Structure 1
Amino acid sequence: MTRAPDGKPNGDMRGLIAPIGAIAVVGLGFSITLPLLALTLEDRGIPTTWIGINTAVWGIASMAVTPLISRLAVRLGTALLLILSMLTIAVALPLFYFSPFWLWFPLRLVAGATITIVFVLSEFWISTVAPPEKRGIIMGIYATVLSFGFALGPFILTLTGTQGFLPFAVGACVLVAGVLPVLTGLRSAPVLHHEQHGTFWRFLFLAPVATGAALLFGTIESGAFALLPLYGQHVGHARDVVILLGVGITVGNIVLQIPMGLLSDRMDRRKLLLILGLLGLAGAAVIPLVAAMFWPFMILLAIWGGTVGALYTVGLAHLSARFRGADLAAANAAFIFCYSAGGLAGPAIIGASMDHWDPHGFVVAICGFFLAYLAMVLVRMSRAKTVAGIS
């Protein structure tokens, strides 16, 4: 295998095993960690409001560290920074179990920052190694593998239980295992010799169709998916049923990401993102018509969830086609920054909308997000056509 100099594609498909394998394992550890931490705090008698505030620290840390990631990768190297970040998360997880609640805040900052570094660098590595003509389908494979990792986390918790030290120890071991794929692929790791051109903040706006897709996906994933069980209860489903609604979304994510990635290799990704936005809007608008019927609702959630998930997959592929080297690392960081910003805003906006228009304020807020994104994409594409016509 050859080493990829300064983030240029090296054409070695074997180099994809390292970052995809690492992110799959870390995704599994992440899906164990998030519910475990929330349930542990609840068992300790911490009020729900404070659990939410503590969880939000994770997103704040993510947004704070993203402007620094490409600079750190230049100084430490992509592979070394990735390994150090995974080991840091693995060490931090057991500390939550032994720490008083006030110490959970700095621990959340550390965990949020390091998990963000892992996602940014893994996606940068994948974008660098992937051949341009197969970038979309490779991003689809990445998203599918990540979805499998997320789906396995709750299953592991059913085996370990959510009380005592055992689930924390298992989660830490899983995170340490994520280092192994990176070690096997060290020679394929992209090397950055210089920092990006210009400041990090400019990358938020250089490819707004892509970063806007990340913002939209983050808003919906954290807000809509998190509040979906509450919406299910509000439209008449029993508590033991609403827990299953997320399964429909997970299945859709697993099934649709590779086909969507393959499609993105065969058409203008901006047009595909526009189509995904329209489908997402249409799917959300149909939700009130079927929400009270379990199986029609589950089928719609699978199709809609896979479509929403493709916003991230196609948006990332579109972004990686625009930049390379340190600029690509910074653009990936901007992409994750927008995703994290959406994750902070989504729950608050959708929750407030549900309070104002019960029960279908859930749908009103989501439709509003899609309409805002579609308006931005249409304006952006219109301006691109105008510039092309003048030139």
Structure 2
Amino acid sequence: MSSITRPKLSHSTANYLILITVIVVAGISQGLLLPVLSIFLEQKGVSPGLNGLNAAALYIGSFAMTLVAERLLGALGFKKLIVGGLILVMVPLILFPYLPDIKIWFILRLIVGIGDSALHYAAQLWVLLVTAPEKRGRYISLYGMSYGLGFSIGPLGIKLLGFGDAVPFWVLFICIAAVLILVLMKLPDTKPEKAEHGQLPERRFRRSLAWAWYALLPALLYGYMEAGMNSNFPVYGLRIGFDTSQISSLLPFIGIGGLFLQLPLGMLSDRYGRKKILMFAGISGGIIFMLVPVAGTHFWWTLVLLTIAGGLVGSFFSLGLAYAADILPKVLLPAANVVASFHFTIGSIIGPNLGGQMINWISPGSMFTLLGILYLLFGVAGILFRRKPEFESVLK
């Protein structure tokens, strides 16, 4: 690869706020689509298994995009990839209510997953690359909070169904269109810097994993926790004696805890170091997850435990990426983001399946025991990880 000069990434508060706005609407789209489409399919008499398989199309699309995201970003740049992602999310929205066929919905969800992954990859990498190390924790935490906020707002769109099946989709379409216009008008057209000849080998994925494995593991754990809790907690709750109303009230508090603690943990990581905070959050969160079965059917104790545990580990994905940005050369960050996305997807697939098997074959509470052990092991594994600054000099 010959030497290529790329425009330097520009950064300003305005650019950052635009990226945050993009992520909020991305969160709203996911938070709206998942429950609304599930409701439609349930009303059509579609089995829960087929309903879940249809929803999995989004993750398949997201996984597929991670395979080509790095090369697309190098070819198109940040702005064009974000624009393309917004369009791929926006266009299927207005087709869902008018093409009510489950096979077509699978394809549309696949497209949404591709678009969502594209804009996430570009936006989070842009934030990582342009943020000063001493502020990286708080900025990437605000980024994570923004998606969580959007994802929490999304289900409120269910109330719009009272005005017509297509209304939630049109409202979201208009919101994304407005953000798309903002991106086209205000964001600078920039590309990531490329390395000199011989400095970006095909082993870049292996190198980023070898040099920053501890920073990339949180994405796997976060995907496992998020997907596993969303899929398995309702089963756990029903089996120990919670009713559906209690379960629906408890589940959101895992995410709410993350919204409250992401920024404080990010700021603490700026001050005391990313690794120390990740170890603390992993060990503390693991212990609290293991205490959930002890609370039994006590609603308020369960709520408190889920809120604190979710708050401690809810920033794992963003803090892990921030830590990777601390210890890797900039030219390896695109590859590291791809690895993190792979890990998140793998965790999202393993979580519901392994947790479900634990519930079936051991006990309902065993899903929390295993989850707690995984976070404890991660925290302890931090003792084994050592940053190797001499590697950075090879590529900087």
TM-score normalised over the length of structure 1? 0.89
Q: Closer, same or farther in 2 for the Cα pair 1:334/1:176, shift >3 Å?
A: farther
Q: Secondary structure at the match of 2:315?
A: helix
- 1:57 deviates by 2.7
Find 2:228's aligned residue among 223, 226, 231.
223
Matched, 1:332 2:337: yes
Query: Distance between the aligned counterparts of 1:275 and 1:9, measured in 2?
Result: 33
Aligned to 2:173: 172
Would the aligned equivalents of 2:289 and 2:368 in 1 still touch at CA under 8 Å? yes
**2:394 aligned residue:** none
Task: Point out where structure 2 has 5 or more consecutive residues left out of the alignment.
Answer: 392-396
Matched, 1:361 2:366: yes
**Stretch deviating more after TM superposition (76-85 or 190-199):** 190-199
Shift of 1:41: 1.7
> Aligned residues, how many?
380
Q: Would the aligned equivalents of 2:239 and 2:364 in 1 still touch at CA under 8 Å?
A: yes
Q: Distance in 2 between matches of 1:66 and 1:161?
A: 37
| Corresponding letter in the other structure for 1:221 | E
Residue deviations 1:354-382 (CA, integer Å, cap 9, x gap):
1112321221331243245345434334x
Tell me the equivalent position of 1:201: 205
* Mapped pair 1:69 → 2:69: yes
C-alpha distance in 1 between matches for 2:209 and 2:349: 17
Q: CA deviation at 1:352?
A: 0.9
Distance 2:254 2:328 in 1: 31
Is the 8 Å Cα contact of residues 255 and 314 (structure 2) preserved in structure 1? no
Matched, 1:44 2:44: yes
On the 8 A contact 2:214/2:382 being kept in 1, the answer is yes
Counterpart of 2:259 in structure 1: which amino acid? I
Deviates more, 1:255-264 or 1:322-331: 322-331
| Contact 1:20-1:126 within 8 A present in 2 as well | no
Partner of 1:24: 24
The AA in structure 1 aligned to 2:240 is: V
The one-character-per-residue Cα deviations of 1:263-315 (angstroms, maximum 9, x if unpaired) are: 01012212221111101210111111214111111111111111111212211
1:293 corresponds, among 295, 298, 301, to 298
Do 2:287 and 2:376's aligned partners in 1 also have CA atoms closer than 8 Å?
no
Q: How far off is 1:223 after superposition?
A: 0.7
Higher mean C-alpha displacement, 170-179 vs 212-221:
170-179
- Check 1:181–1:249 CA distance in 2 against 1; reply closer, same or farther (3 A cut): farther
Secondary structure at the aligned position of 1:21 is classed as helix
The higher relative CO (CA closer than 8 Å, separation ≥ 6) is in: 1
Q: Which amino acid aligns with 2:385?
A: R
User: Equivalents in 1 of 2:264, 2:306: separation in Å?
Assistant: 18
1:324 to partner: Cα distance: 5.5
CA distance in 2, matches of 1:168, 1:291: 40
Checking the alignment, whether the CA contact within 8 Å between 1:229 and 1:245 is kept in structure 2 is no
Structure 2 CA distance, aligned partners of 1:71 and 1:119? 15
The amino acid that maps onto 1:292 is T
- Counterpart contact for 1:128–1:190, Cα < 8 Å: no
For residue 43 of structure 1, report the CA deviation from its aligned partner.
1.8
Amino acid at match of 2:172: G
Give the C-alpha shift of residue 10 in structure 1.
4.4
Conserved 8 A contact 2:288-2:372: no
Q: In the alignment, residue 258 of structure 1 is paired with which amino acid?
A: L
Summarize the Cα distance change of 1:10–1:173 in structure 2 as closer, same or farther, 3 Å threshold: closer
The SS at the match of 1:379 is: coil
Indicate the larger mover: 327-336 or 18-27.
327-336
Q: Contact (CA 8 Å) 1:65, 1:113: kept in 2 or not?
A: yes
Q: 2:285–2:313: 8 Å Cα contact kept in structure 1? A: yes
Give 2:139's aligned residue. 138
Q: 1:6 to 1:70 in 2, by over 3 A?
A: farther
Mean CA deviation greater in 168-177 or 337-346: 168-177
Counterpart mapping for 1:183-262 below 5 A? 183-187=184-188, 190-192=190-192, 194=194, 197-199=200-202, 201-202=205-206, 203-262=208-267
SS of the residue aligned with 2:50? helix
Task: Give the TM-score of the pair, scaled to structure 2.
Answer: 0.88
Q: Which runs of 5+ in 1 are unaligned?
A: none
Asked if structure 1 preserves the Cα contact closer than 8 Å seen for 2:284 and 2:312, the reply is: yes
**CA displacement at 1:334 relative to structure 2:** 1.9
Q: Does 1:150 align with 2:145?
A: no
Shift of 1:162: 9.8
Equivalent residue of 1:244, what SS? Answer: helix
Q: Conserved in 1, the CA contact under 8 Å of 2:76 and 2:191?
A: no
Residue identity matched to 2:44: R
The amino acid that maps onto 2:57 is: V
- The 3 A distance-change label for structure 1 pair 237 and 99 is closer
Q: What is the CA–CA distance in structure 2 between the aligned matches of 1:76 and 1:8, rounded to whole Å?
A: 15
The letter for the 2-side match of 1:28 is I
* One-letter amino acid of the counterpart of residue 197, structure 1: L
1:113 and 1:149, CA in 2 relative to 1: closer, same or farther beyond 3 A?
A: same
Shift of 1:9: 5.9
Aligned partner letter, 2:253: G
Bigger mean CA deviation after superposition, 150-159 or 17-26: 150-159
Alignment RMSD (CA, Å): 2.5
Q: Secondary structure at the match of 1:137?
A: helix
> What's the CA shift for 1:227?
2.1
Bigger mean CA offset, 347-356 vs 68-77: 68-77
Q: Which residue of 2 aligns with 1:278?
A: 283
What is the aligned partner in structure 2 of residue 102 from structure 1? 103
| Pairwise CA distance, 1:255 | 0.9
Indicate the percent of aligned positions where both proteins have the same amino acid. 29
Cα gap change, 1:324 to 1:106, in 2 (>3 Å): farther
